[in-house]
């Protein structure tokens, strides 16, 4: 078996040529305390994710979502970038990256200092009105929800792997929602729910980054669904070298010229040290 040290050195040789497109997934954020969906930290997931169809079709579903998310946001909002995020930002500062496509909605790439980030699935730090499409900061919504729910009982709430909270039916029933201040429309987090399509222009932008790259570096994604796998497939079709760093196998391993099964933070810290990009 080839050692991880040897593979990191091989990865450094690939990245050193520059023009690298990064595709990151939930596995990059687990070291920041945000569990993933399909990796080791996501296996204890108990709740089914909210779908777009349920959210728009049921006021009760929206009340349930926002009550749980209101509590869970404290966990997501308090997360800080880890060594992996900082390493990616360091590679960008060194001028080695063609761009960063992230499947994550936590904003930790940007918090670490990265600038060329495309949020494929949107960001939890923003809210969008489904009627007038105005986007507002999540912090503003959280303030309004606190004002609308003084003394609201959330005692004993535990956090699920997706960042929302486990609440009783009684707690959810007592939660008051707020609407768009501009038009009174329904508010939704500015993220792509299950059952919802990523906007086509955003997908095209991601394909352009990958298609114009010298190499594709996948970080912390199981590539179990088409949303991320399609970019690996495109790179393979174009003959672009693909490297994958992840804990566990991925759906793109067959197309990769290099795979490294290792914790992201230590592996990427070693990579930046070899490249002098710390």
248 carries a ligand binding annotation: yes
- What residues contact 239, with CB distance under 8 A and at least 6 apart? none
Q: How far apart are CA 183 and CA 177, in angstroms?
A: 15
Q: Residue 191 corresponds to which tokens in the numbers above? A: 């993220």
221 carries a ligand binding annotation: yes
Q: How far apart are CA 32 and CA 28, in angstroms?
A: 8
220 carries a ligand binding annotation: yes
222 carries a ligand binding annotation: yes
247 carries a ligand binding annotation: yes
70 belongs to the catalytic site: no
Q: How far apart are CA 223 and CA 238, in angstroms?
A: 18
Residue 251 to residues 137, 148, 230, 246, 254, Cα–Cα distance (Å): 35, 45, 10, 11, 7
105 carries a ligand binding annotation: yes
63 carries a ligand binding annotation: no
Q: Residue 196 corresponds to which tokens in the numbers above? A: 């919802």
Q: Determine phi and psi for 103, rounding to 5 degrees.
A: -85, -5
106 carries a ligand binding annotation: yes
- What residues contact 247, with CB distance under 8 A and at least 6 apart? 27, 39, 40, 220, 261, 262, 263, 264
183 carries a ligand binding annotation: yes
DSSP structure class, residue 181: T
132 carries a ligand binding annotation: yes
Identify how many contiguous H helices and E strands the chain contains and give both numbers.
10, 11
Residue 233 sits at the vertex; the CA angle it makes with 229 and 239, to the nearest 5 degrees, is 145
Judge contact between 21 and 213, C-beta under 8 A: yes
164 carries a ligand binding annotation: no
Q: Which of 70, 85, 109, 121 is catalytic?
A: 121
Report the relative pairing of strands 135-137 and 122-129 from DSSP bridges.
antiparallel
Judge contact between 132 and 47, C-beta under 8 A: no
Q: Which residues are catalytic?
A: 121
Which positions make up the binding site?
103-106, 129, 132, 180, 183, 220-222, 246-248, 264
Summarize the annotated binding site for NAD(+) as residue ranges: 103-106, 220-222, 246-248, 264
Q: Which residues are annotated as a binding site for Zn(2+)?
A: 129, 132, 180, 183
């Amino acid at each position: 078996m080839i050692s991880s040290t040897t593979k990191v050195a091989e990865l450094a040789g690939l990245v050193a040529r520059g023009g690298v497109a990064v595709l990151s997934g939930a596995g990059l954020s687990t070291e920041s305390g945000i569990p993933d969906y399909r990796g080791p930290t996501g296996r204890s997931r108990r709740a089914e994710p909210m779908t777009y169809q349920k959210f728009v079709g049921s006021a009760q579903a929206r009340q349930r979502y926002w009550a749980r998310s209101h509590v869970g946001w404290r966990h997501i909002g308090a997360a800080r970038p880890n060594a992996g995020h900082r390493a990616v930002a360091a590679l960008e500062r060194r001028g080695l990256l063609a761009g960063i496509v992230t499947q994550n909605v936590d904003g930790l790439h940007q918090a670490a200092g990265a600038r060329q980030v495309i949020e494929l699935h949107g960001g939890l730090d923003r809210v969008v009105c489904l009627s007038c499409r105005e986007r507002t900061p999540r912090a503003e919504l959280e303030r309004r929800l606190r004002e609308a729910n003084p003394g609201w009982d959330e005692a004993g709430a535990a956090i699920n792997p997706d960042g929302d909270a486990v609440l009783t039916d009684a707690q959810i029933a007592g939660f008051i929602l707020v609407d768009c201040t501009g038009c009174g429309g329904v508010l939704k987090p500015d993220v792509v729910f299950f059952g919802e399509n990523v906007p086509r222009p955003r997908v095209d932008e991601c394909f352009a980054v990958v298609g114009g790259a010298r190499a594709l570096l996948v970080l912390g994604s199981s590539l179990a669904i088409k949303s991320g796998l399609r970019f690996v497939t495109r790179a393979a079709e174009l003959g672009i070298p693909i490297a994958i760093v992840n804990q566990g196998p991925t759906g793109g391993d067959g197309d990769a010229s290099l795979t490294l099964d290792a914790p992201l933070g230590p592996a990427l810290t070693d990579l930046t040290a070899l490249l002098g990009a710390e």
